Structure 1
Amino acid sequence: MALFLLLLTFIFILLPYYLYQKLRFKLPPGPRPLPVVGNLYDIKPVRFRCFADWSRAYGPIISVWFGSTLNVVVSNAELAKEVLKENDQQLSDRHRSRSAAKFSREGQDLIWADYGPHYVKVRKVCTLELFSPKRLEALKPIREDEVTAMVESIYKDCTLPEGSGQSLLMKKYLGTVAFNNITRLAFGKRFVNSEGVMDEQGKEFKEITANGLKLGASLAMAEHIPWLRWLFPLDEAAFAKHGARRDRLTRAIMEEHRLAREKSGGAKQHFVDALLTLKDKYDLSEDTIIGLLWDMITAGMDTTAISVEWAMAELIKNPRVQQKVQEELDQVIGYERVMIETDFSNLPYLQCVAKESLRLHPPTPLMLPHRSNASVKIGGYDIPKGSNVHVNVWAVARDPTVWRNPLEFRPERFLEEDVDMKGHDFRLLPFGAGRRVCPGAQLGINLVTSMLGHLLHHFNWAPPHGLSPDEIDMGESPGLVTYMRTALRAVPTPRLPSHLYERVAVDM
């Protein structure tokens, strides 16, 4: 009875609030919200598809209520430009859930920081120091080493007597590359050895990552309905324990690097070394250094593997494109050496394949929401201060008014027209744009291109026996990032001399 009265009280409080917002502001159209819950029960699990469907019904800018919070979703390039460029300063804050606030120490990192002096400082550190062309070039051997390790692992598995002709689970190999690459770039550590065995620090790292995801997911509904927070309070002890565990591991690695620098008299190029070296120059707190390192892990681990898995699915579904990439690789690289990153400039079609896959399957299709720090107008509608604004980059990149045959996987479109995908052309935004554009975009592009090039140069790829290319499941799983609903399995056939599948380990 008490719960019913509480619910009734909130209905009488929030219903006038919705009406007040409607009368005071000219809000974008959208599905009718219910009291208390808003549109939460109408949203389908794969949100970017649901929002795209609603945009077709209500227009390219819509209002969606998450409980009592207004969320505005834009779905075309013109409106994306208004959000990410013309009103960027007013729409550059972050909505932090309770879990994001805890994980980021109230925005002491980069990803969850509001726009202001702190954000500008750490953004400068990332742009000028961590992801500079000089540092990316210095860390190139790590990327190439991990990609060749993936090739060697696939070759061993597909040439075993029991493995010949069998399909392989792609995300197993792609995930290992992404995991080892990002931990080596950030921490200078390869937690998984060449036999696939993870050391104790690696196991701890994996457990911390999995526990963070579990803690964040446990608060989903309560984040949007304030009165539910009374019934489901934040487990302060669990978050404190998680934070202490994460910090303990990170500080141990930082101490290892500090001692190594003292011993050698210099610093390597890994992100942890760079941040420790730059600590005084930029006045970085330990919380900020730890936050930035884990930002790199969070942003770089899954998205790369996801992007390559989608690209490989498209290439298996489109054997014409696969053959055309291989013809380019054979012409430029040949059969007596392996591809390296300096070959990219001579492989335009391979680059177009990566770009076309990121167009159709952006790893974060709604990006992270931008929060308004002032009232603005977008598309002629009012966006009140405190609203969340989402750019549906998945819908933008499939807009039939700007893309010819938008659902077709056709890399040639980027040979016909050079379209930037690092935030300058608002038709293609896999890395965002404006003040919040991903600072590691070039690193991501390099790794995706390298992985695809090696996979296609070393192997022919086909669907599992008994499955036609058209039967590959191209549906997405719900979530912030777009995992394939059914993990891709594929059959590799080696196409180069056997000695080109051997990894030469790089220690750095």
Structure 2
Amino acid sequence: MAVLISLFAFTLLYLSYKLYKRLTLNLPPGPRPWPVVGNLYGVKPVRFRCFSEWSRAYGPIISVWFGSTLNVIVSSAELAKEVLKDNDQQLANRHRSRSAAKFSRDGKDLIWADYGPHYVKVRRLCTLELFSPRRLEALRPIREDEVTAMVESLYRDCTSLEHKGKGLMVKKYLGAVAFNNITRIVFGKRFVNDEGVMDEQGQEFKAIVANGLKLGASLAMAEHVPWLRWLFPLEEEAFARHCARRDRLTRAIMEEHALARQKPGGAKQHFVDALLTFQGSYDLSEDTIIGLLWDMITGGMDTTAISVEWAMAELIRNPRAQRKAQEELDSVIGPSRVMTESDIPNLPYLHCVAKEALRLHPPTPLMLPHRTNVDVKIGGHDIPKGSNVHVNVWAIARDPTVWERPLEFRPERFMKEDVDMKGHDFRLLPFGAGRRVCPGAQLGISLVMSMLGHLLHHFSWAPTIGVRPEEIDMGENPGLVAFMRTPLEAVPTPRLAAELYKRVPVDI
């Protein structure tokens, strides 16, 4: 009985302290929270749109309570600068959900690591070694090979009697590029053969990815309300089985590369080879190597395909912009050869198309939360230690005070002003900024540009029969990344000679 009374008294004191802090601090405004659950029941499924609506009502910085945890949402470029530059070090920690903590071995990777010596070491490895210009150039043949494989597949399908003149699901082809590209760059593996058949190891890989997504999405309410966790216990055995399965596959691939490296010419530029090379000099544990490899996979698997699908939807809705991009491609490349990445610097309008698509449709519309490691002030408001701060990139890109006609797809806006999109201009943040900016930004940009260029140079694109361009569904699915709610279906028409659609496989 004495223990229960003590526990009750401690809980009462804790809640009283939290209430006192909430009442005495100058927190950002926001919707009134409910006891225990906070604002959880008021948050709509597409969170970045919901937070944007609340920001229009309460201002560009708002408080949203997930259970007893304060989440601060900023929706202006000025406040994003305060978060990602002025207070960067104080906000460089990462909130880890229970599932993220399990997957990352409590932050032994890069994405979920708190800011400190480990993060600085691993970030340096990524910047100087994994994503160096030299390595990205060495991996260029893989990217170009997979993009030409996409073109060949599209051509085969759109000219077949079965599909001629009919719409194709664009996501299918973009997803194949993203999947094959990331597995080859990270693991040195193309799990799918030229006939589109996936091998046993590839099937295991896809099953692990799908199971990880399922486990990560299974803890919503209990994640934010500690008092309810006894009702929703973490499935320790399920997470342990998943991690063991993931690690078993990864170790098998690492062992294959370790054996190959013992032979003359066996060392390659793939990320797994690079991590094995630098394991000793950077003092990398096996947990960190596995965590980094899967960071690259989860970070690069969907984002490029998502970005290109949105861009193609906008270009089909805006035929004038599509024609202008194709005129540039025809002028620079011509009708007798295919595009390569070396052509990208000579395609300024295509750059503008990619930027405008990433502005309107950032693949991660709401940045992963930055967690405060000390009390800070943002926009004149108190943000206590332990709060989560989110930057609503999607809302900033639609701010009429910084963008002229922000809801229109107008690539020309970037011809007038060269806006950086790698974290230096806080109006456009598809890859984040500051200490936690995406280290693979240049890799993502190169692949997006190459995919867009090939799709537009090789084909003209129109909506399916009976669908007007303005009727294409531009809504998003709920989730961390912004998939199109209705996958894009479109009709491609070849523009070049038949021999230019043939893939010549490369082995690297």
Equivalent positions of 1:291-440 (< 5 A) are 291-440=291-440
Change (3 A) 1:324 1:374: same
Change (3 A) 1:177 1:265: closer
Which residue does 1:66 correspond to in 2? 66
- Report if aligned partners of 1:15, 1:35 keep a CA contact under 8 Å in 2: no
Superposed CA offset, 1:185-238 (max 9, x none): 000000011111000000000000000011111111110010111111111111
What's the offset of the Cα at 1:22? 2.4
Matched residue of 1:70: which SS?
A: strand
Q: Which amino acid aligns with 1:225?
A: V
Indicate yes or no: 2:143 matched with 1:162: no
Matched residue of 2:172: which SS?
A: helix
Indicate yes or no: 2:491 matched with 1:473: no
Which residue does 1:442 correspond to in 2? 442
What's the offset of the Cα at 1:332? 0.4
Matched residue of 2:467: which SS?
A: coil
Indicate yes or no: 2:269 matched with 1:262: no
Superposed CA offset, 1:364-416 (max 9, x none): 01110000000000000000000000000001111100000000000000010
Which residue does 1:250 correspond to in 2? 250
What's the offset of the Cα at 1:9? 11
Change (3 A) 1:40 1:17: farther
Which residue does 1:236 correspond to in 2? 236
Which residue does 2:486 correspond to in 1? 486
What's the offset of the Cα at 1:21? 2.6
**Where do 5+ consecutive residues of structure 1 fail to align?**
1-7
Q: Which amino acid aligns with 1:89?
A: Q
Which residue does 2:5 correspond to in 1? none
Q: Which amino acid aligns with 1:436?
A: R
Find runs of 4+ consecutive structure 1 residues off by over 2 angstroms: 8-19, 21-24
Aligned residues with identical type, % of pairs: 80
Which residue does 1:507 correspond to in 2? 507
Q: Which amino acid aligns with 1:96?
A: R
Which residue does 1:137 correspond to in 2? 137
Q: Which amino acid aligns with 2:501?
A: Y
Superposed CA offset, 1:145-203 (max 9, x none): 00000000000000001110010001100000000000000000000111110000000
Q: Which amino acid aligns with 2:233?
A: P
Which residue does 1:204 correspond to in 2? 204
Change (3 A) 1:18 1:157: same
Superposed CA offset, 1:250-288 (max 9, x none): 000000001111022551100000000000010000110
Q: Which amino acid aligns with 2:130?
A: L
Whole-Å Cα distance in 2 between the matches of residues 196 and 265 of structure 1? 29
Whole-Å Cα distance in 2 between the matches of residues 329 and 346 of structure 1? 9
Q: TM-score, with normalisation over the residues of structure 1? A: 0.97
Task: Count residues with an aligned counterpart.
Answer: 501
**Where do 5+ consecutive residues of structure 2 fail to align?**
1-7
Which residue does 2:277 correspond to in 1? 277
Indicate yes or no: 2:228 matched with 1:225: no
Matched residue of 2:428: which SS?
A: coil
Q: TM-score, with normalisation over the residues of structure 2? A: 0.97
Matched residue of 2:401: which SS?
A: coil
Matched residue of 1:176: which SS?
A: helix
Change (3 A) 1:9 1:483: farther
Whole-Å Cα distance in 2 between the matches of residues 129 and 11 of structure 1? 49
Matched residue of 2:424: which SS?
A: coil
Matched residue of 2:404: which SS?
A: coil
Matched residue of 1:403: which SS?
A: coil
Whole-Å Cα distance in 2 between the matches of residues 233 and 118 of structure 1? 30
Q: Which amino acid aligns with 1:59?
A: G
- Report if aligned partners of 1:367, 1:393 keep a CA contact under 8 Å in 2: yes
Q: Which amino acid aligns with 1:354?
A: A
